[in-house]
Structure 1
Amino acid sequence: MNKLFNKKKWQKHDLLFISVAILCLSPIISSPIALLLGFTLAMLGLVPKQINLNLLTKKLLAYSIIGLGFGINLDQAIAVSKDALGLVIVSLFSTLILGWLLTRRLGIDPKTGHLIASGTAICGGSAIAAVAPAINATEDQTSIALATIFILNSVALFLFPFIGHLLSMTEHAFGIWCAIAIHDTSSVVGAASAYGNEALLTATTLKLARALWIIPVAFISALLFKGDNKKITVPSFILFYCLSILIAYYLPQFSTLYDIIFSVSKRFLVLSLFLIGAAISFDKIRAAGASPMILGICLWIITASGSLTYILLLM
């Protein structure tokens, strides 16, 4: 707990932040609105200094995703993963190759460009956090990549549901698109949950299956950049997420409890997005700079439009 909260005195205006955070646990606040509320309070300087937002968000998000696993049907999860396997592989490696080409074209630092491409190709911040130590990236290189992906994630949370409804996409199709084209798991789940339960289950399942590609990509990255492949790690929440799916599958007699855990996890996910919004600052936006942001936008548009075209025409 000491790592989550420091010993600074609480101020009266901190009560507003806490009240809004509690409000995000209610059904009246959607994922995009929660992110916007957090960002607004951050811009007004109303985020308590006593809270370690990064650590709290990381833990809360991990627990939320693990809880969502109890609402996943194993047979459906396998079917979704098999149906979209080709799309996942093609989009992943084409994004990495395109990222390498554009990085050279734009004159961006190779490691920064590779981190942005890895975050776009797999699962945003988690992929960047896993690949960075494997290629011995500096703190500045990692921060710029994270800031770029972070900003685009925030945009995706609002933009994707709008496009999905505009094109009258089914929840299943929208869930697949989210898992392929949105970077971070948090934004994937947030956008999908705003679209519907089937979209949420499809997107969460496919995104976390996609996240397992962190291991081979980090290993290949270490070889390319002559880094340290001993530093490659896989986020533990992915393993616990898989475990929660197996528990729900092999112990179906507790389905009522699983439904409660799933519902509570969805609300804590909204709270996580509120905390993510509260961590956004103009310093992070400024740190991204023009060239890395151009790279991130180009990769994102190509990945999103290419996967959308495939889903609408061929799936």
Structure 2
Amino acid sequence: MPLSRPAVAAALPGIALALVIGIVASLAGRAVPVVGGPVPAVVLGALVGWLVRRRAHEDGRDGATAGAAGDLGVLQPGVKFASSRVLQAAVVLLGAQLSIGEVLRIGGETLPVMLTTLVVCLVAAWGIGRLLRVSGALRTLIGVGTGICGASAIAAVTPVIGAASAEVAYAMSTIFLCNIAAVFVFPVVGHALGLSQHAFGVFAGTAVNDTSSVVATATVYGRQATDTAVVVKLVRTLVIIPIVVGLAGLEARRTARTQPTPDTGERHAGGVRVLRLVPWFLFGFLVVVLLRTVGVLPADAAPGFAAVATFLVTVALAAIGLSTDFGALRRAGFRPMLLGIVLWVLVAGTSLGVQAALGQL
């Protein structure tokens, strides 16, 4: 949906700040190639965001404008745009490096890893969540967020299971913490284990929660790892459809047992929502892959698209860093955070274990 002129004007300050941080981070990445641009972008973004919030607090605006939800004031619209739309555009551009044959091959080869990590995550979320006395809705949100596609999965599942806003906030904060940690930890693990570009791409694509962090983590490791990770992650995202359908069915049965009232159309809302679960940038990515396959986009243009995509990822990660609300992470509480971290470690270990069992490492 195109932005109106007032919306564009409102977004410019935040976009400009994310762009400046992205440029600085990219220059730092060139100076230290082993680190790359995305990691400095997150760190600088988080530092600047903390300084902005602290300044707002000192100015007495924290209770009115920059207050409750870690708002960045006039920067907020642009930061939100950069952390979502800019990242999604980068994912679309990454499709210029792949053909349909490569997408099908990578998706088919990694399907056992994806399905195994998902099953392990959902079963562990149910069992460990109960042991930690985390509520049913919250452990479901953290489970699908960790096992499928982070915030997108949480947003899709929330109306189906009727989760409370506080539970959504806890789940989002937990997933966000693991996403940021993955950008730092996973490349170190990959180099320590001597993972190939392909193996690391599968590792990142199956074990990192959100699309933005998958792309950022793989970009730090290498271009081939990024290609693989994007395909794996986008195939993994499609799993959200049967999961939401299944949860909607379970909720409908439970509602029918407790409130056997005639259908009003509201109970079918979950089914209707399923049609809108696949993100637009997945279709955009596949369109660009198709254009590359039929030769509309020449192969020698792929490096240029990759460079632009990498820079857009860096800008998006700067915005995500700016969005980091340390107070919200602290308020999320110990048990949900522990559940998310345990699931994250389990999924990462399962991904590496299945790849080793299949002789793919």
Q: Do both proteins adopt the same fold according to a TM-score greater than 0.5, normalized to the shorter chain?
A: yes
> C-alpha offsets along residues 214-244 of structure 1, whole Å, 9 cap, x if unaligned?
1111111222233733233221111111111
| Distance verdict in 2 for CA 1:255–1:162, change over 3 Å | same
Whole-angstrom distance in 1 between the partners of 2:105 and 2:148: 20
CA contact (8 A) 1:118 1:124 kept: yes
> Are the counterparts in 1 of residues 144 and 153 from structure 2 also a CA contact under 8 Å?
yes
Contact 1:119 1:125 in 2 (8 A): yes
1:210 matches 2:236:
yes
CA contact (8 A) 2:18 2:315 kept: no
1:50 to 2:54 alignment: no
In the alignment, does 2:96 pair up with 1:70? yes
In 2, are the aligned partners of 1:134 and 1:231 still within 8 Å (CA)? Answer: no
SS in 1 for 2:10: coil
Q: Distance in 2 between matches of 1:97 and 1:211?
A: 18
Contact 1:133–1:231 (Cα < 8 Å) also in 2: no
Given that 2:116 and 2:350 are in contact with CA atoms closer than 8 Å, whether structure 1 keeps it comes out as no
Q: Select which of 86, 102, 113 maps to 2:128.
A: 102
- Kindly state the Cα deviation for residue 168 of structure 1 after the two structures are TM-superposed: 0.9
User: Residues 86 and 316 of structure 2 are in contact (CA less than 8 Å); yes or no, is this contact kept in structure 1?
Assistant: yes
Q: Give the structure 2 partner of residue 144 of structure 1.
A: 170
Helix, strand or coil at the partner of 1:234: coil
Contact 1:119 1:183 in 2 (8 A): yes
The one-letter code sitting in structure 1 at the alignment partner of 2:244 is A
Pair 147,255 (structure 1): closer, same or farther in 2 beyond 3 Å? same
Q: 1:214 and 1:17 mapped to 2: Cα distance? A: 30
Q: Which residue of 2 aligns with 1:19?
A: 20
1:171 aligns to 2:197 (yes or no): yes
Q: Does 1:236 align with 2:280?
A: yes
When residues 133 and 5 of structure 1 are mapped into structure 2, their CA distance, relative to the original with a 3 A threshold, is farther
**Counterpart-to-counterpart distance in 2, 1:214 and 1:190:** 22
Residue 253 of structure 1 deviates from its aligned partner by 5.6
Question: Which string of whole-angstrom CA distances, capped at 9 and with x for unpartnered residues, describes residues 86-123 of structure 1?
Answer: 12112112211221122222111211110110011111
Asked if the contact 1:72/1:205 (under 8 Å) is kept, the reply is no
> Kindly, what percent of the aligned residue pairs are identical?
29
Structure 1 residue 33 displacement after superposition:
1.2
1:128 matched residue in structure 2: 154
Cα distance in 2, alignment partners of residues 313 and 22 from structure 1: 42
- Please name the residue that 1:250 is paired with: 294
Alignment-derived partner of residue 305 in structure 2: 261
Q: Contact 2:148/2:239 (CA < 8 Å) preserved in 1?
A: yes
- Structure 1 distance, partners of 2:50, 2:76, is 16
Which one-letter code corresponds to 1:153 in the other structure? N
Distance change (3 Å), C-alpha of 1:222 and 1:49? same
Alignment check: 8 A CA contact 2:46 2:324 kept: yes
Q: Tell which structure's C-alpha radius of gyration is larger.
A: 2
Q: Tell me what 1:6 maps to.
A: 10
Residue type matched to 2:24 in 1? L
In structure 2, distance between residues paired with 1:121 and 1:7:
32
- 1:89 partner letter: L
2:44 to 37, 50, 58: 37
Q: In structure 1, what is the equivalent of residue 187 of structure 2?
A: 161
Query: Corresponding residue for 1:283?
Result: 327
1: CA distance, partners of 2:11 / 2:236: 40
Q: 1:196 corresponds to which residue?
A: 222
Contact 2:96 2:297 in 1 (8 A): no
In the aligned structure 2, how far is the partner of 1:38 from the partner of 1:268?
14
| 1:261-295 C-alpha deviation (Å, 9 max, x unpaired) | 33211110111011101100122212321111011
Query: Do structure 1's residue 80 and structure 2's residue 106 form an aligned pair?
Result: yes
Distance 1:16 1:132, change over 3 A: closer
Counterpart-to-counterpart distance in 2, 1:240 and 1:291: 38
Residues 117-150 of structure 1: per-residue CA shift (max 9 Å, x gap): 0011111111112211222223222111111000
Paired AA for residue 168 in structure 1: G
Task: Report the counterpart of residue 273 of structure 1 in structure 2.
Answer: 317
Question: 3-state DSSP class of the match of 1:6?
Answer: helix
Partners of 1:17 and 1:48 within 8 A in 2: no
The answer to whether the Cα contact below 8 Å between 2:82 and 2:315 also exists between their aligned partners in 1 is no
Q: Report the Cα offset of residue 42 of structure 1.
A: 1.3
The equivalent of 1:310 in structure 2 is: 354
